[in-house]
Structure 1
Amino acid sequence: MSTALDRVRQRRDTGPDDYRLTDEVVRAQLEGFDAPTFAEHPLTIVDGDLVLRHARPADVGELLEFWSGSAENASRPQDSEVAVERLLARDPAAVIVADVDDRIVGTVIAGWDGWRAHLYRLAVGRDVRGRGIARQLLRHAEERLLDLGATRLDAMVLDGNEAGAAVWRAAGYAPQGEWSRWVKPVGPRQTPGGATVE
């Protein structure tokens, strides 16, 4: 608040068309201001050399490369450019990335279907671990989902991923013992026009 007041005071009477804002007007505006969150799109947050932002279609190749080396297991479906592009087209704010020196070093997918909230692909590059990047990604993903109306968050955590489980536990998550994940693999399908849909 004090920084904003100082800046507005310094800008007074610097030109013929200046409009004078009183301290009361500035306070009223700031007190009624809601900071943007990752529910909005696009949003970029800079914290030193770390940049948190939404993924863009131009990031698809780098995302695929990052995920292929981020200790995922081989039993998950194979990623494809088409699938990631489709995700970004459907929900441009779903994928939050962390950049250092214009290089993706962390990701999380905050999926929202209008009813349920799901978190996937929380991953941080080995060379930047220990800086709290996963915690920051997760915090912004949670804020996004809460702003969209989520009342419960769930996360996909690979059994045996002790480092990942520690991050989720520290953030207040716990395994739900009475549920098991059931999956049914399905392959690409043909559309009526003959195109393959992955």
Structure 2
Amino acid sequence: MLPDYTINVKLREEMNQQKAFVVWLTGLSGAGKSTLANLLEHKLYRAGKRTYVLDGDLIRKGLNRDLSFSPSDRSENLRRVAEVAALMVDAGIIVIAAFITPLEADRSMIKQILKNCGMIEVYLDCPLSICEGRDTKGLYAKARKGLINDFTGIGSLYEPPGTPDLKISTGLKSVEESVKEIYDFIVTLDPALPR
């Protein structure tokens, strides 16, 4: 049984003067997850909110450096991230998680872990051709040449979310429009956010 600490999430939210929650960005590599996470955090920061971005590259360098890209390790990677996000929400922080999260089974697991955290699932819908065109790291090219196995969208399946809280066509909308759409949506969770 967990200890019953006196200071809880409600008190931390009061101190931080904000509602804590998780914005989980899912989509193919190149759909704009990291870019939008960064800009959304800037917008929230300018509004005086305490935030943190959890990003795949950052997590893989530290917390999850012991994991490979096998299907089971990918699931474990996401499970650990969801658990960290839950702790950060308990600390009264707004968390922005930017992860491909390709499988519905993993997204269901994440939602279960974050069921009391006010999670918002944002699906960044972008055609594979546009994602490949934005491929600054050359990952799609390597996957097409067979140098990366099971790369999502090429050798591994991406299952689009059936009922995300928000779906943004990042292949059609500008970065600014996309950030505004996410921000406007989260204002419904925290009406104290400036419009």
TM (normalized to structure 2)? 0.29
- Give the number of the structure with larger relative contact order, counting CA–CA contacts within 8 Å between residues 6 or more apart: 2
Greater C-alpha radius of gyration? 1
TM (normalized to structure 1)? 0.29
